Amino acid sequence: MTLVEPELAARVLERALGRGGDMAELYAEARGGFGISLDDGRVERPQRGRETGACVRVVHGESTHYGHVDGLAEEDLLRVAGSVSEAVRGEAAHPVALTATRRGTRHAVATPPEDVDAARKAELLRACDERARAAGAEVAQARIGYAESRREVEVYGSDGRAAADDRTRIRLSAQIVARRDDRVETGSHTRGGHAGWELLEDEPESVADEAARRALTLLDAVDAPTGRLPVVVGNGFGGVLLHEAVGHGLEADAVQKDASVYAGRLGEQLAPDFVTAYDDGSRPNAWGSEGVDDEGTPTRRTTVIEDGRLASYLYDLLRARKAGVASTGNGRRESFRHLPVPRMTNTFFAPGDATPEELIGTVERGLYAVSFGGGQVEPATGDFVFGVSEGYLIEGGRVTAPVRGATLVGNGLEALKAIEGIAGDLDIATGYCGKGGQTVAAGVGQPHVLIRELTVGGTAG
């Protein structure tokens, strides 16, 4: 399907450069989705949406002027282009002829979710609810969510760029509450990807099993310890630590504003030499993957830390131009209502040689942080804080009691230096990442990682 004919796109770009500018771009999008949830034993909130719209931007020196509009009507696109062009005061520039549209590598979608009867999706929720409740008499509440989305995007640039992508994502999530007397604990789990219904064909109910297991485990949790302790961070969603404490600081907009603690450190040894990390937007069917980014650049694997050395930042077109390098395919936007900015896709530590048991075995007294409720980082300093949603004490090299209320506080640079071991069990989980008011799907992942020392803020005093 074509959203905007290249012939019309060319006229929009011509008009956008009517009073000059270094680059003009038209981004068009048709996005739609379906979601339904089950809560308190009841299937509810079935919801379907469809939106179309476009964004026109003109880059002039260090300034970007842009406008967006709902719908893809020719007169609206031309009007927005005209209004954006007025912010520039110069001689008209002219776009080069558009190349043939490059279609992003499709991540295989065997069964488009929209081809599956909606009633089956409601049934899946009921099956998950049943499984969660069967996990134990102490399971008090189950909330199961299903969401599918499809984004068709087209990008046309005055430098001749013409690209299109078609992205299908699907996600199943479970949040289970367990209760014993006055104690109430929550466990969550998700499965999702840049994929079709096939992702949910193999034992989807295990998502509910896992969330229920976490909630039930936490019922026996003791108060988290406080102080500086060794921490083993779990695989999969444990990668939030890398995402927050390192990844955001590698995004070139923060770097170029000197608002990142990683600015000016390319080539520096930031971590032990057995540490390598990637951002990979081309990883097949991964949650944060895309065919091309939202500027039409093909996604790829970028090595950000190589053998402990800082190897690359993450660029969109604008920041790449400023740095004199090529875009790494990280120009992403939440929708046609936003400007592209450098964003992570799927960010993860490369697997190492150890096993999780070996890492845990070296810790006399510490914390095993399996999963986080979320986190936040100040890119300028690298300071981070994470809430541990599933954690355990490590005593005498063994995982013992579950803990609750733990928070990890630290600094990205210090945490990288303090990595003592990496296991081989890489897993990538489905995250949503917010930055500058834009939320995008971001894959977070890692194998098990041992960090020599982090500040654990607990409730045990």
* Residues 46-105 close enough to bind other proteins by CB under 8 A: 46-53, 62-71, 83-84, 87
C-beta of 7: minimal distance to other proteins in Å? 23
Q: Which is nearer to other proteins, 360 or 456 (CB)?
A: 456
- Single-letter code of the amino acid located at 447: P
CB 347 within 8 A of CB 428: no
Q: In the bound complex, what is the minimum distance in angstroms from residue 350's beta carbon to other proteins?
A: 26
Residue of the chain from 358, 378, 427, 453 that contacts other proteins (CB under 8 A): 378
Q: Please name the residue ranges forming H helices in 61-192.
A: 74-85, 118-134
Strands, E assignment, 61-161: 63-70, 102-103, 139-157
The residues in 155-194 that bind other proteins, with binding defined as CB under 8 A, are 177, 179, 183-186
Q: Which of residues 224-253 bind other proteins (CB under 8 A)?
A: 224, 226-228
Min. distance of Cβ 274 from other proteins in angstroms? 24
Q: Which is nearer to other proteins, 25 or 185 (CB)?
A: 185
Please identify which residue in 78, 116, 118, 127 interacts with other proteins, judged by CB under 8 A. 118
What residues does 434 pair with on adjacent strands?
439
Closest approach, Cβ 36 to other proteins, in A, equals 6
Q: Could you say whether residue 406 binds other proteins (CB under 8 A)?
A: yes
User: What is the C-alpha to C-alpha distance for residues 125 and 336, in angstroms, rounded to an integer?
Assistant: 31
Considering the complex, what minimum distance in angstroms separates the CB of residue 247 from other proteins? 16
The DSSP call for residue 298 is B
The residues in 291-330 that bind other proteins, with binding defined as CB under 8 A, are none
Tally the C-alpha atoms within 13 A of residue 164's C-alpha that lie toward its C-beta. Answer: 16
Give the count of beta carbons closer than 10 Å to the beta carbon of residue 177: 18
Interface residue with other proteins among 110, 325, 326, 409 (CB under 8 A) is: 409
Which of 98, 318 has the CB closer to other proteins? 318
Cα dist. 396→16, 60, 74, 231 in Å? 66, 61, 69, 14
Q: Does 112 bind other proteins (CB under 8 A)?
A: no
**Which stretch in 89-97, 378-386, 417-425, 440-448 sits in contact with other proteins by CB under 8 A?**
378-386
How far, in Å, CA of 169 to CA of 110, rounded? 12
* Between 18 and 291, CB nearer to other proteins: 18
Instruction: Name the residue nearer to other proteins (CB basis): 261 or 286.
Output: 261
Name the DSSP class of 91: -
Interface residue with other proteins, options 2, 5, 44, 398 (CB under 8 A): 44
Angle of helix 6-16 versus helix 74-85 axis, rounded to 10? 20
- Cβ proximity to other proteins: between 73 and 134 the closer is 73
Question: Which pair of tokens denotes residue 415?
Answer: 């945490």
The distance of closest approach from Cβ of residue 361 to other proteins in the complex, given in angstroms and rounded to an integer, is 27
Q: Which of residues 335-364 bind other proteins (CB under 8 A)?
A: 337, 339
What secondary structure does DSSP assign to 306-363, as a single string?
Answer: ETTEE---B--HHHHHHHTS---S-EE-SSTTS--EE--SEEEEPP-SB-HHHHHHT-
Helix (H) or strand (E) holding 88: none
**Could you say whether residue 438 binds other proteins (CB under 8 A)?**
no
Question: Which of the 8 DSSP states describes residue 247?
Answer: I
**Distance separating alpha carbons of residues 421 and 428, to the nearest angstrom:** 19
As measured in angstroms, the least distance from the Cβ of 44 to other proteins is 5
